């Protein structure tokens, strides 16, 4: 069931579930299966997901290329596309990268993203991280130039602290932020989310399922050959304890008639500051399940029962 929301003070009307494209880059998640990813993108639109989030950094442009091919032929008014800029790679794909939000780089790299995506404009262009060498007023000037030229509609940031966001808002129209947020990591509730609520800033959160941990599909004995292989949350006793906690969501999911994945996502969407949650997708089944988090609400009792599991 579709559920659209106006993204903060922008005029973008986006689905509460956003199709995350990190997996398309292949860097940390194994070789991308373009056939399955393309089918998932098309299925997303069928099930009411119109929002896609990618970045030039995902596979050094590969994710943008795959997404662009997947959306080819889809009417431009059927989707909203967000991408990011920051990681300036020095040479060929897979080479060393440095942070860069300088005026010249943003202007140039936006053209590269548009070319890879096969689009005339980007709906939401985001600073992927904070560049300590570039004053944000310079970054804002580049974004404003791109807006004036019709290359982007809105701009925002990702991975900024609340102080960095406050600085950004003082020098430009940073309309959105993309922070990490899930049931096991709720730090942004203390500062970023209240700031966004009071300033009508659009919030699209990532890592919403903690690399799949909050789907409820693990037993605690699995091993991994992707970026989770070095993540302590997925190792040994800590992994088993995490799985035990997630399994406590099963009775709540059953009484709501939803899956563990769906209530994990819905609990994030219930926060009044959160507009959308980004879900990393590899296939059609995953986007169908994620889309099932839209169009309904948790009761107050269920919401607080869920939070108690992850103090």
Domains and CATH numbers, the chain: 4-212+271-297 (3.20.20.100)
- 14: Cα separation from own chain's centroid: 13
What does residue 126 show for φ and ψ, rounded to 5 degrees?
-120, 140
Q: Give the integer Cα–Cα distance in Å for 23 and 297.
A: 29
Q: Which pTM was predicted? A: 0.96
The Cβ of residue 28 has, within 10 Å, a number of other Cβ atoms equal to: 14
| C-alpha–C-alpha distance, residues 173 and 178, integer Å | 15
Cβ-Cβ contacts under 8 Å for 248 (sequence gap 6 or more): 309
Helix then strand then coil, % of the chain, to nearest 5: 45, 20, 40
- What tens-digit pLDDT sequence spans the chain (311 residues)? 789 999 999 999 999 999 999 999 977 667 889 999 999 999 999 999 999 999 999 999 999 999 999 999 999 999 999 999 999 988 777 778 899 999 999 999 999 999 999 999 999 999 999 999 999 999 999 999 999 999 999 999 999 999 999 999 999 999 999 999 999 999 999 999 999 999 999 999 999 999 999 999 999 888 888 888 889 889 999 999 999 999 999 999 999 999 999 999 999 999 999 999 999 999 999 999 999 999 999 999 999 999 999 98
User: Which is catalytic among the residues 58, 105, 181, 211?
Assistant: 58
Reduce the DSSP state of residue 305 to 3 states and report it.
helix
The string over 165-199, giving b where at least 16 C-beta atoms fall within 10 Å of a residue's C-beta and e elsewhere, is: bebbbeebebbbbbbebbbbebebeeebbebbeee
pLDDT of residue 131: 98
Contacts 24+ apart (CB under 8 A), 218-222: 218/243, 218/246, 219/243, 220/244
Q: How far apart are the first and last CA of the chain?
A: 31
Those residues with Cβ within 8 angstroms of residue 178's Cβ, 6 or more apart along the chain or in another chain? 53, 84, 126, 156, 157, 158, 159, 203, 204, 205, 206, 278
- 58 is an active site residue: yes
């Amino acid at each position: 069931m579709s559920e659209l929301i106006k993204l903060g003070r922008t005029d973008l009307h986006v689905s509460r579930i956003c199709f995350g494209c990190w997996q398309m880059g292949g860097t940390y998640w194994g070789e991308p299966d373009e056939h399955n990813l393309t089918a998932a993108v098309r299925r997303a639109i069928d099930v009411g997901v119109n929002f896609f989030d990618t970045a030039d950094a995902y596979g050094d442009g590969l994710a943008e290329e795959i997404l662009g091919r997947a959306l080819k032929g889809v009417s431009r008014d059927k989707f909203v596309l967000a991408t990011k800029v920051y990681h300036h790679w020095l040479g060929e794909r897979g080479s060393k990268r440095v942070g860069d939000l300088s005026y010249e780089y943003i202007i140039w790299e936006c053209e590269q993203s548009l070319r890879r995506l096969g689009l005339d404009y980007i709906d939401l262009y985001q600073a992927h991280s904070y560049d300590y060498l570039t004053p944000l007023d310079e970054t804002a000037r580049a974004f404003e130039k791109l807006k004036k030229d019709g290359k982007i509609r809105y701009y925002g940031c990702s991975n900024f602290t609340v102080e960095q966001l406050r600085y950004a808002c003082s020098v430009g129209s940073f309309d959105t932020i993309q922070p990490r947020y899930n049931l096991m990591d709720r730090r942004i509730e203390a500062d970023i989310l209240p700031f966004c609520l009071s300033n009508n800033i659009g919030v699209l959160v990532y890592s919403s399922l903690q690399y799949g941990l909050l789907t409820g599909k693990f037993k605690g004995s699995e091993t991994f050959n992707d970026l989770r292989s070095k993540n302590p949350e997925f190792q040994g006793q800590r992994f088993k304890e995490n799985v035990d906690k997630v399994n406590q969501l099963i009775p709540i999911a059953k009484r709501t008639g939803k899956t563990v994945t769906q209530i994990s996502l819905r609990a994030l969407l219930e926060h009044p500051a959160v507009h959308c949650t980004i879900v990393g997708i590899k296939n059609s089944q995953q986007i169908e399940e994620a889309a099932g988090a839209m169009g309904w609400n948790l009761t107050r009792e269920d919401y607080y029962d869920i939070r108690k599991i992850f103090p």
